[in-house]
């Protein structure tokens, strides 16, 4: 029988995950089906339980359910525990295993896909939600000089930063929180980890936050968001999150199927298609 997987979120209609996993399945000759699951904002657990009861083998979790997914799983992996957020659920042996592959996907895309080394760089992350939680540990492991988390609600950014500031592994990186209006320095890498681009909006940023040669990275994919337009006007190099999406999906596929597919052909295929669209 075909093993069933899905991406669950709200919204979810825009997701490219089914096409990505279909490409992985063709390459690796795996018999899987992968769909989209729109869960009500107050109905994540019920939607997952129904999918699992109907024979589903696992799901990718997208906004706004990544924090809730951690509470839902029986056995979170170390990367999910560090993030306190889950983007991949694996159903097997009567248990629900939780993982977070977002950060690995981002760092892989930055360093292998875009040729950008995080080491010794000044990094700014916009937003303090589940997307940011999922990328903090891998980014810090890449040893930037500075990492600032900016958010409209400062307490939320402080709470997220506090998880990592006492960790000796990240002692060489200065980790701080800031409201948007207090940002007054230039950064080498600015990551928009908010979902504002899906609403054709962007965080309130002032000019001058991009250093010479900076990279602006929006985790929203297949859209030229207001954040990317602003960054281009400021002279920054830009990238959307398509490469991250494919790389984190490959990590999830490996968890589910025990083999890692090639990613570059899938990224190139989707990039060509989205450019033409």
For the chain, the straight-line distance linking the first and the last C-alpha, in angstroms and rounded, comes to 35
Number of Cβ within 10 Å of residue 1's Cβ equals 6
SS3 (DSSP) at 244: helix
Picking from 186, 191, 193, the residue whose alpha carbon sits closest to that of residue 210 is 186
> What span, in angstroms and rounded, lies between the C-alpha atoms of 151 and 166?
21
- 36 carries an active-site annotation: no
Sequential DSSP letters for 185-196:
S-EEEEEE-SSG
> What span, in angstroms and rounded, lies between the C-alpha atoms of 217 and 227?
9
CB 87 within 8 A of CB 101: yes
Q: How far, in whole angstroms, is CA 46 from its chain's centroid?
A: 24
> What span, in angstroms and rounded, lies between the C-alpha atoms of 255 and 42?
28
**Ramachandran area for residue 114 (φ above 0: left; ψ -120 to 50: alpha; else beta):** alpha
> What span, in angstroms and rounded, lies between the C-alpha atoms of 254 and 276?
30
- Catalytic residue, chosen from 66, 95, 121, 156, is 66
Active site residues: 66
């Amino acid at each position: 029988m075909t093993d069933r997987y899905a991406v669950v979120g709200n919204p979810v209609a825009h997701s490219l995950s089914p096409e990505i996993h279909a490409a992985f399945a063709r390459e690796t000759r795996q018999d899987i089906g992968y769909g989209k699951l729109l869960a009500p904002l107050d109905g994540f657990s019920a939607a997952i339980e129904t999918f699992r009861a109907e024979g589903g083998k696992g799901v990718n979790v997208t906004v706004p359910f990544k924090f809730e997914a951690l509470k839902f799983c029986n056995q979170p992996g170390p990367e999910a525990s560090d993030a306190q957020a889950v983007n991949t659920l694996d159903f097997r042996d009567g248990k629900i295993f939780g993982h977070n592959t977002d950060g690995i996907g981002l760092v892989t895309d930055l360093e292998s896909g875009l040729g950008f080394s995080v080491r010794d760089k000044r990094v700014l992350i916009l937003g303090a939600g589940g997307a940011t939680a999922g990328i903090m540990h891998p980014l810090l492991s890449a040893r930037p000089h500075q990492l600032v988390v900016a958010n409209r609600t400062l307490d939320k950014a402080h709470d997220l930063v506090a998880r990592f500031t006492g960790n000796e592994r990240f002692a060489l990186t200065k980790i701080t929180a800031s409201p948007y209006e207090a940002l007054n320095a230039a950064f080498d890498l600015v990551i928009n980890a908010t979902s504002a681009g899906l609403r054709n909006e962007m965080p309130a940023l002032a000019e001058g936050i991009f250093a010479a040669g900076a990279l602006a990275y929006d985790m929203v994919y297949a859209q030229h968001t207001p954040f990317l337009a602003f960054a281009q006007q400021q002279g920054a190099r830009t990238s959307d999150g398509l490469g991250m999406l494919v790389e984190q999906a490959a990590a999830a596929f490996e968890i589910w199927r025990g083999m890692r597919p090639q990613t570059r052909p899938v990224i190139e295929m989707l990039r060509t298609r989205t450019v033409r669209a």
